[in-house]
Structure 1
Amino acid sequence: MDLAQEILINKYGQGLVDIEVLIADYASLDADGKNRYLTYLVMLIIQSKSVDTDVMPAIENSRLKKTYTPCVLLEKGGTQYCSLKKIIRLPTYEFDKVLILLLNLFRIAYYRRFQKERNNPDKWWYWDLSDEKKIANVYKLFNSLGLLIFTLSHNVSI
């Protein structure tokens, strides 16, 4: 997942972007890209500290039938990493449902953390991403980190 996609997902968590934008972005990926996207989304859900009480609201908000396989697995397994991993290992024909369900789970957990950590200077993903200046700062931060990593990996003295 690239930085633009990660910013987009976090904007979704803040209620700044509709889910359709993320679905369209996801649809443009090849099979391997979709797999990586879902894997990264699981990491974001874990990072956001999703809890089992988030499951039913996520299913309801997704507007998916409770009987769909991803919903059944999430309801039975909860938000533990092993359960989420099982969901993203479903056959590819389930991926669209998996995406919608996991995005809704992410949004609930993320928003709860966003309320607590809003504008934490050490966590850009909780900055107010409606502010284009803050997004520009995120790109500057990543460009600086990229230069530092390149410098260190090539033994270039600073």
Structure 2
Amino acid sequence: MLRPIDILINSFAQDKLGLEKLLIWFDTLAIIDKRKAVYWSRILLEQSRPDNELIESGIKQIPLKSTFTPIVLLNTKSFKIALTKIVELPDAEMKKAFITLISLFKVSDEKRREEWCKGICGHEWHDLDKLNIILNDEYLDSLRGKIQ
């Protein structure tokens, strides 16, 4: 069963939920839950198995300044080390970390859906329409402050 975090991040990755609405949800979280959201974003990103070329092109699509710490880490460290350091950033960096990870996940998961999963996978998160969730403000309000 998918958790709210899975539904929201995958909805974002599949262009069913805009970044601004996802960030409104993120902003409602307590800092401990923001850290959990960043942690789960990292897990989802790793599971999408981006290669070095995809990581490089994905970094360019992150809607943050290239001088922000999470992006600098991705540009200067190996992928695994950068991810470890990103999830360990100070509290004040959690929103930038979240944006970085979900934006990179979006690029990576799109490629995964097109190349590996197109019409053949049984991944529940790749067929969100079967959940009959309407991603309107009422639904998002019901998830405010919730990760699990």
TM-score, normalization by structure 1: 0.74
What is the Cα deviation at residue 19 of structure 1? 1.1
Structure 1 residues 7 and 108, CA gap change in structure 2 (3 angstroms): same
Which residue number in structure 2 is paired with residue 135 of structure 1?
131
In 2, the alpha carbon distance for the partners of 1:113 and 1:79 equals 18
User: Please, which moves more after superposition, 102-111 or 10-19?
Assistant: 10-19
| Runs of 4+ more than 4 Å apart | none
Which residue number in structure 2 is paired with residue 21 of structure 1?
21
What is the Cα deviation at residue 94 of structure 1? 1.3
Which residue number in structure 2 is paired with residue 73 of structure 1?
73
1:38 aligns with 2:38: yes
In 1, the alpha carbon distance for the partners of 2:6 and 2:95 equals 18
CA shift digits 1:123-151 (9 cap, x unpaired): 11122x2x2xx1159xxxxxxxxxxxxxx
Matches within 5 A, 1:116-131: 116-120=116-120, 122-127=122-127, 129=128, 131=129
Contact 1:120 1:126 in 2 (8 A): no
Sequence identity of aligned pairs in percent? 28
For the residue of structure 2 that corresponds to 1:15, the secondary structure is coil
What is the Cα deviation at residue 63 of structure 1? 2.7
In 2, the alpha carbon distance for the partners of 1:120 and 1:7 equals 20
Which residue number in structure 2 is paired with residue 152 of structure 1?
none
In 2, the alpha carbon distance for the partners of 1:68 and 1:114 equals 29
Contact 1:118 1:126 in 2 (8 A): no
Which structure has greater helix proportion? 1
Contact 1:58 1:101 in 2 (8 A): no
In 2, the alpha carbon distance for the partners of 1:41 and 1:105 equals 10
Q: What's the RMSD between the two structures over aligned residues?
A: 2.0
Which residue number in structure 2 is paired with residue 5 of structure 1?
5
Contact 1:55 1:75 in 2 (8 A): no
Matches within 5 A, 1:26-105: 26-80=26-80, 82-105=81-104
Structure 1 residues 94 and 112, CA gap change in structure 2 (3 angstroms): same
Structure 1 residues 136 and 49, CA gap change in structure 2 (3 angstroms): same
Contact 1:58 1:104 in 2 (8 A): yes
For 2:125, the aligned partner's letter is W
Structure 1 residues 65 and 56, CA gap change in structure 2 (3 angstroms): farther
What is the Cα deviation at residue 100 of structure 1? 1.1
Query: Which is higher, the Rg of structure 1 or of structure 2?
Result: 1
Structure 1 residues 118 and 96, CA gap change in structure 2 (3 angstroms): same
Which residue number in structure 2 is paired with residue 146 of structure 1?
none
What is the Cα deviation at residue 76 of structure 1? 1.4
Structure scoring higher RCO (CA < 8 A, sep ≥ 6) equals: 2
What is the Cα deviation at residue 15 of structure 1? 1.6
